[in-house]
């Protein structure tokens, strides 16, 4: 499964679960006659549903889809506006799924930044409106949730990047392997055709490598490959692949 497809499924699943959760909140508030909260939850459910639809429409461009930031900014802004205008107990707990959704959908830095833009004003509002003990408990829990979720996302991204590096790197020389060549060459050919620029491919080989291995051992040949790779890294340009 490619990273784009994985992100598509992850984003769609996140939006879907959030939409179901918020829709349940809307129905519960409608049942008990809290119409302002019902309208708020309904609007947030529509936004999360729009996020799921946007994910499906832009499924081929999930690595650079700017619409997610717009949708999540709308959700966070609605939550903050509700805190300022409504006097509803427990509404601050609605921020929990938003924090997780921010980190699940957006890149880590954007997700943390957007979450802090929600949490900092929310904390100020809570300290102004609630008892200090209650405000500390709520804001502390939200910040702990943000920290734990961000740490988990960072660890996952780090492990995924490490696995990707191992998959496209030769363990002997540290250079990119044939898999990376297949993927990159197709991109470079397409780019050269689109831009009309020239594309050069250099094929290098070491003569009598098998004979050297028979005479001096496989370790000596691998050392020769490493030395050759280090020399090439020192002479190629930064833009070359």
Mean pLDDT (10-residue bins), the chain, 241 residues: 75 90 89 87 91 87 78 91 80 87 90 93 88 90 92 84 72 74 78 82 77 78 79 72 61
78 close to 24: Cβ distance less than 8 angstroms? no
Q: Round to whole Å and give the CA distance between 125 and 43.
A: 22
pTM beyond 0.75: the answer is no
Q: Round to whole Å and give the CA distance between 131 and 197.
A: 67
Q: Give the pLDDT score at 120.
A: 93
Neighbours of 132 (CB within 10 A): 9
Q: Round to whole Å and give the CA distance between 163 and 140.
A: 34
Q: Give φ, ψ of 169 to 5 degrees.
A: -120, 135
Q: Round to whole Å and give the CA distance between 96 and 185.
A: 44
Q: How big is the chain, counted in residues?
A: 241
Q: Round to whole Å and give the CA distance between 21 and 94.
A: 10
Q: Round to whole Å and give the CA distance between 59 and 30.
A: 34
């Amino acid at each position: 499964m490619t990273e784009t497809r994985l992100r598509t499924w992850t984003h769609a699943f996140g939006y879907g679960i959030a939409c179901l959760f918020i829709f349940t909140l809307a129905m519960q508030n409608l049942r008990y006659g809290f119409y302002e909260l019902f309208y708020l939850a309904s609007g947030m459910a529509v936004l999360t549903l729009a996020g799921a639809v946007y994910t499906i429409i832009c499924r081929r461009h999930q690595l650079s889809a700017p619409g997610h930031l717009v949708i999540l900014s709308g959700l966070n802004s609605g939550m903050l506006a509700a805190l300022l205008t409504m006097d509803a107990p427990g509404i601050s707990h609605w921020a929990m799924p938003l924090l997780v959704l921010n980190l699940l959908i957006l890149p880590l830095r954007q997700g943390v930044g957007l979450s802090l833009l929600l949490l900092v004003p929310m904390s100020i509002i809570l300290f102004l409106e609630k008892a200090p003990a209650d405000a500390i408990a709520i804001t502390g829990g939200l910040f702990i949730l943000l920290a734990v979720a961000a740490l988990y996302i960072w660890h996952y991204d780090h492990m995924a990047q490490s696995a990707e590096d191992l998959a496209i790197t030769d363990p002997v020389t540290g250079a990119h392997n044939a898999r990376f060549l297949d993927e990159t060459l197709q991109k470079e050919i397409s780019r050269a055709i689109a831009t009309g620029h020239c594309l050069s491919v250099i094929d290098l080989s070491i003569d009598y490598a098998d004979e050297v291995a028979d005479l001096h051992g496989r370790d000596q040949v691998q050392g020769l490959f490493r030395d050759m790779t280090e020399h090439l890294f020192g002479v190629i340009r930064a833009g070359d692949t």
